[in-house]
Amino acid sequence: MRIDVVTLFPHWFDWFRTQRHVTNALQLGHELELVDLRETTPLKAGQVDDTPYGGGAGMVIRVDVVEAALEGRYGAAPPPHRTIALSPGGRQFDDALAAELAAEPALTLLSGRYEGFDERVNEHLATDVVSIGPYVLSGGELAAMVVTDAVIRKLPGALGHEESAVEESFSEALEGAPEYPHYTRPFEWRGHPVPEVLLSGDHARIREWRLEQSRGRRPGTP
Ligand code: ADE
């Protein structure tokens, strides 16, 4: 899979690219590339934004600047894969969308800044508009990292063999519920022991207990 992130701050991803599951994915042949909006802007002095029509605070990233970045990367035709604009007003990102995106051969993530993109980016250049939650970040970079992280975890081999994304929170294996609790040594800590069932060695009982715990953690469960 290839993920291209279009951003004004490519260096924000330097640290992210060194994280183990990301390096695992890159070693497996997946790609994570940064596309700097300022490198292809058709405007003078690296300008990428402009004041909003109708007035108001803040600056808006111009549609022609995003178009130039996409053309610089993919040529005149639109990218032949999903292009996702990150915006607080978009479709809420969740595990099902992460799994859907992980099945794509390539993705382009558009990270906005300031007041966000000119609406024509969302309508005509992006195929999807995605939000990572109902709050406003100072830019789409962290949102792009969240999406990339959750998608990369789903790629076979990215987590290494001792970890697995199959049975984790919100997965199908757990019927979409949050994950069950985990315990390790010491068996008893300040009067709080580990649930006995986990020491029973009875795998069917442990599995049933974990599923029950998981179901009990669904939001709204008393
Ligand atoms: N950009 C700013 N806030 C955001 C959010 N909550 N989700 C996605 N992109 C954003």
pLDDT in tens, the chain (222 residues): 999 999 999 999 999 999 999 999 999 999 999 999 999 999 999 999 999 999 999 999 999 999 999 999 999 999 999 999 999 999 999 999 999 999 999 999 999 987 899 999 999 999 999 999 999 999 999 999 999 999 999 998 888 765 667 778 888 888 888 999 999 999 999 999 999 999 999 999 999 999 999 999 988 887
**Two tokens, residue 36:** 């700097």
Contact 6, 110 (CB under 8 A): yes
Closest CA to 188 of 172, 178, 175, 199: 199
CA–centroid distance, 119 to ligand 1, in Å, is 15
C-alpha–C-alpha distance, residues 188 and 94, integer Å: 36
CA–centroid distance, 125 to ligand 1, in Å, is 18
pLDDT value of position 134: 96
Percent of the chain surpassing pLDDT 70: 98
**Which ligand 1 atom is nearest residue 138's CA?**
2
CA–centroid distance, 142 to ligand 1, in Å, is 8
C-alpha–C-alpha distance, residues 36 and 207, integer Å: 48
Which H or E run contains 216?
A: helix 203-216
C-beta of 53 in contact with ligand 1 (< 6 A) = no
Determine which residue's CA is closest to atom 7 belonging to ligand 1: 131
CB atoms within 10 A of CB 27: 10
pLDDT value of position 173: 82
**Two tokens, residue 53:** 């029509």
CA–centroid distance, 188 to ligand 1, in Å, is 42
CA–centroid distance, 103 to ligand 1, in Å, is 23
pLDDT value of position 167: 74
Residue of 132, 142, 145, 147 to test ligand 1 pocket, by largest number of atoms within 8 Å of CB: 132
pLDDT value of position 24: 94
Per-residue burial over 66-92, b if 16 or more Cβ lie within 10 Å, else e, is bbbbbeeebeeebbebbbbbbbbebee
